[in-house]
Structure 1
């Protein structure tokens, strides 16, 4: 089956807006208690529990899990100002200054070295937070309906490397590969349960890696969409071998983004702009949002 595409109209944009809102507010508020209080100011979010997730590489929080009624969102944050250069650390390197960089591979496919280090550093914490959220929901007789894996910029790249592991954790802990499978996590329900929503995601894997990931999306009919402001060129920064297509990338049209120049910032990349554009789309809709792979943009 083909990759799942964004529906015309407003229906799919509510979850996109929701993911962008969490990423935006998380980028502004480092304190987890203050972030929880802030998110509750928005009508669509109750934020019963928020868990912050660190990589162990530095002290900066790089992801959060938001448990909101029957929805779990794992949001991978973008780089801070002092982390911008790490997006260029695509190769591994030994501890000595004279050690030469070397490519890093996963199952024979080349991946972004630093993003992989970040994912490996937070993997156990992500699984623990996810299990904690599911347990909390089940203690209150709530069946999980949505698992949104979201990412912005660098966080989009990290989420790309972590996505399959997260889904496989669900399948083996709760779903079809579990000894006592639960219907909500069955393979037949993964397409309605799971979404991979990113904004201006940077590249994290080569063609071989992304081909396998696209096949994974197709197998379970998972909605995997990246959204890009038409003048945001940040995702073009990684080397050419990390620029192959993943899921569907949708270019936000000028008719929408022109209203939010300040929110997008001088290079059109800020997550607040992506939230405002998604909020507009969720309210009004527009049939001019096209997949980049059919428009010749990608």
Structure 2
């Protein structure tokens, strides 16, 4: 059952939350038709973080999967120092997903399938770029806003499994930073006004993953959300059993 909780004395996660929100915002602002190129987002984030080595990979469905009209930016993967952020934006899923009255969670699932390989590739590239600098990831954050939050709910189990099988306890050459005992400090799942991305069963499985690996997971919804009739009621859904903080 969902539990609304507030931060107490430990504010150590605030910087990660601020970074996730900023990346979502910058990636959305610079996704307009006037500046669709990912270089605009990259420049903005490099300037904000004062890091000329920051890398941004764009998550766009390949030409073989969608017609050009629907190939828009679904998300980004940002490698900044020792932190990797996988961010899914709040855009509508491709219009074809609403044919025949498809539900939103089906649209989120299909959208994730469209960019799954691109996400895996971008995450692997980020880890490799860190290794080239003799650095290991200290934080891997999965985040999303609105429908992007729903996509992140679908994507989280797959991404966690990729980490475990590629670098962690299920890998043939496991890295200490990705072993099961370290996942709780390595991985976070932060969503903002997330819409439902799955069924009750999928959320039950997600909650079990959080519990098993001690994953820090938060969903935020502002009390004055302009589309509160959608976001706020889904925010209070009783079978979304993550830790919540209702921002004011």
Same fold flag (TM > 0.5): yes
| Paired position in structure 2 for 1:284 | none
Q: How many residues align?
A: 229
| Paired position in structure 1 for 2:150 | 157
Q: What is the distance in 1 between the residues matched to 2:76 and 2:240?
A: 26
Select the structure of larger CA radius of gyration. Answer: 1
| Paired position in structure 2 for 1:219 | 212
CA drift at 1:237: 7.1
| Paired position in structure 1 for 2:231 | 235
CA drift at 1:42: 1.8
Gaps of 5+ in 1: 94-100, 104-110, 254-298
Q: What is the distance in 1 between the residues matched to 2:52 and 2:218?
A: 25
Contact 2:192 2:220 in 1 (8 A): yes
Q: Normalized against structure 1, the TM-score is what?
A: 0.70
Instruction: After the TM superposition, list the runs of 4 or more consecutive aligned residues in structure 1 that deviate by more than 6 angstroms.
Output: none
Question: Which deviates the most, 161-170 or 8-17?
Answer: 8-17
CA drift at 1:84: 7.9
| Paired position in structure 1 for 2:46 | 40
| Paired position in structure 2 for 1:251 | 246
Q: Normalized against structure 2, the TM-score is what?
A: 0.84
| Paired position in structure 1 for 2:160 | 167
Contact 2:93 2:111 in 1 (8 A): no
1:28 aligns with 2:34: no
Contact 2:221 2:232 in 1 (8 A): no
Q: What is the distance in 2 between the residues matched to 1:138 and 1:85?
A: 36
- 3-state secondary structure, aligned to 1:42: helix
CA drift at 1:244: 2.9
Q: What is the distance in 1 between the residues matched to 2:238 and 2:26?
A: 28
- 3-state secondary structure, aligned to 1:179: coil
Gaps of 5+ in 2: 32-36
Q: What is the distance in 2 between the residues matched to 1:207 and 1:183?
A: 34
Q: What is the distance in 2 between the residues matched to 1:251 and 1:237?
A: 12
| Paired position in structure 1 for 2:15 | 14
